[in-house]
Amino acid sequence: MPVNLLIEPRSRSEQLGLPMPDDQHAVSACLPLWEHNIGYEEGDEAVHSKLQAAYPRFCLHPLVSEVCRKLLHSDSLRGLPFISAQAAQRACEYVKNAGVSGVQLRPFDGQSAVGVQVPHDSLPLLRQYWQHAGENVSSRVAELILREAAAAISETRERQTIRERVAVINDVTPEDVFLYPSGMAAVAAAWRTVTAALHRFTCQFGFPYVDTLKIQQRFPGAEHLFFPVGSDLDLDELSRQCDSRPPAAVFCEVPTNPLLMTPNLARLRRLADEYNFLVVVDDTLAACGNVDVMPYADLVVTSLTKYFSGYGNVLAGSLVLNPRGAHYGALREQLAAEFEETLADVDAAVLCRNSDDVSQRTHAINHNAEQLADWLRTHDAVESVYYPKGDPAYEAIRKTNAGYGGLLSIVLKDAASQTPGVFDSLRVCKGPNLGTHFTLCCPYTILAHYDELDDVETQGVSRWLLRISVGCEPAEELITRFEDALVIASE
């Protein structure tokens, strides 16, 4: 019987590396102590050797590793499996663009997936593309490849149901919903689409999830501007930039990760209409159905891995076209020219089943997160709470009777001395990922920006920030668990 993480969270030192959830295909593993997170980032074998799961874009699932060992590695070559021939070709172009030669495609018999092999010392560069683009072979697909069984990608009823549910959330028809094997694959597809439609640079508005920015920095042909705060003053600067050279598109998150700020979408839309650029909104952190961004966006991308799935055992993403947008026809034509179904049937079936209760889960998570955020704002040991409640820009797009999602971030007073101890003693699941029905906490800046901590702190993101993804545990139980941990900082 799988462990119920709502009542038995994985938070203790001896639980290092255990999967969360208790599932072979879990997309997160327990990193219970502050020192484990540091060790994870520094490649400490004592930490990495214990990992029974990990977020699939950052670490290879054991089944994917087995595919690599058996089918792609040789004395001189190392490889990774990608979800399709097109995805594999894009990975080849990425490493070739960095000057690597000797790159090879390696098809798998009877599979849509295709491997990419590179010289031994170029594997880290190939891993970069794997992480940024999210066009990965999933653990379930890897399992089928190892069994020499075809990983089908077909028009199943489950796939249709997923499109229908995403369409309802976004108030569009299912024909305008495109599914991908991860949220980042949807972001990468959006980047390719907008830069092909309007041959100009892109702009990141507001501090984003790390790989959204890396796509705009590192992909072949990429050129970008970055406004890390995303304030009204930044909108003034963007307007001045547009007077001389407008972007092809502005990417933004609603709200941002991890500071939970929301840009002024109405003003951004007016600028887009005036200067003929596109707006791409990632609404993942708002959770499903809380906000209405479609009046302001040309494209909406969402990581379905998070709140839509809710159970932490499958990766997927969606890209939704705004049928009422001025650029709809051109965008649809451009997207259709390259789109291919790459979400495997085995993953779509799990995602469909998981999303059966998405509305009920989101309602419970909204309530619990609001209660916890309100309580943390009153605690003497807490310096800052980042949460969308009360933000006029978020309130302007919040649907009637909807909530604020399940994510919040905190920074403690005397953070350098207090945060490790508080984190270590906290009795909730600890590891990366968010949007699960069980609560998760992680030292987000350490995990996402370990090699650039000084830089991101200049952009307002503390290295001591704790990101909390609130789940379905009773709010009073969560408050008790945080109160017990914060006693350390109050002594």
- Where does 147-182 have alpha helices with state H? 157-170
Cβ atoms of residues 441 and 466 within 8 Å: yes
Q: What is the largest CA-CA distance in the chain?
A: 62
Q: Give mean pLDDT, residues 116-123.
A: 96
Is the per-residue pLDDT at 209 higher than 90?
Answer: no
First to last CA, the chain: 40
Q: Give mean pLDDT, residues 179-208.
A: 95
pLDDT at residue 59, rounded to an integer:
87
In whole angstroms, give the CA distance from residue 423 to residue 482: 10
Sign of CA dihedral 132, 137, 142, 148: negative
Question: What's the distance, CA 374 to chain centroid?
Answer: 26
Question: pLDDT tens digits for 221-276?
Answer: 999 999 999 999 999 999 999 999 999 999 999 999 999 999 999 999 999 999 99
Report percent pLDDT > 70 for the chain: 99
The pairing of strands 429-430 and 202-205 is unpaired
Q: Give mean pLDDT, residues 48-76.
A: 93
pLDDT at residue 491, rounded to an integer:
64
In whole angstroms, give the CA distance from residue 332 to residue 462: 40
Cβ atoms of residues 253 and 285 within 8 Å: yes
In this structure, what token pair is assigned to residue 471? 């789940």
Is the per-residue pLDDT at 490 higher than 80?
Answer: no
- Band of pLDDT at residue 54, cut at 50, 70 and 90: confident
Single-letter amino acid, residue 480: T
> Other CB atoms closer than 10 Å to residue 13's CB: what's the count?
11
Q: Does the bond joining 255 to the residue before it have cis omega, within 30 degrees of 0?
A: yes
Cβ atoms of residues 40 and 47 within 8 Å: yes
Size of the chain, expressed as the number of residues it contains: 491
In this structure, what token pair is assigned to residue 468? 């909390």
CA dihedral angle for residue 239, residue 242, residue 248, residue 254, rounded to 10 degrees: -10
Single-letter amino acid, residue 273: D
pLDDT at residue 489, rounded to an integer:
67
- Band of pLDDT at residue 13, cut at 50, 70 and 90: very high
In whole angstroms, give the CA distance from residue 365 to residue 387: 13
The residue whose two tokens read 């890209």 is 319
- Of 58-62, 407-411, 433-437, give the lowest mean pLDDT range: 58-62
Q: Give mean pLDDT, residues 194-217.
A: 93
Q: Give mean pLDDT, residues 465-479.
A: 98
pLDDT at residue 2, rounded to an integer:
87
Sign of CA dihedral 60, 61, 63, 66: positive
Closest C-alpha among 257, 241, 487 to residue 382: 487
User: How high does pLDDT run on average in the chain?
Assistant: 96
Burial 437-476 (b: 16+ CB within 10 A, else e): bbbbbbbbbbbbbbeeeeebeeeebbbbbbbbbbbbbebe
List, in sequence order, every beta strand (DSSP E) within 65-199.
77-82, 104-107, 114-119, 177-180
Domains and CATH numbers, the chain: 13-47+357-490 (3.90.1150.10), 62-137 (3.30.70.2750), 157-355 (3.40.640.10)
| Per-residue CA distances from 31 to 176, 325, 415, 420, 440 (Å) | 39, 43, 20, 13, 11
Overall pTM > 0.85: yes
- Band of pLDDT at residue 9, cut at 50, 70 and 90: very high
Cβ atoms of residues 404 and 307 within 8 Å: no
| Per-residue CA distances from 320 to 14, 163, 172, 204, 341 (Å) | 43, 10, 8, 19, 14
In this structure, what token pair is assigned to residue 194? 């907008």
Report percent pLDDT > 90 for the chain: 95
Question: What's the distance, CA 465 to chain centroid?
Answer: 18
Residues 6 or more apart in contact with residue 267 via CB below 8 angstroms: 232, 235
Of 207 and 420, more confident: 420
Closest C-alpha among 302, 325, 277, 353 to residue 166: 302
pLDDT at residue 73, rounded to an integer:
96
Cβ atoms of residues 308 and 302 within 8 Å: yes
DSSP track, 301-339:
EEETTTTTT-SSS---EEEEE-TTSTTHHHHHHHHHHH-
The pairing of strands 278-282 and 249-253 is parallel
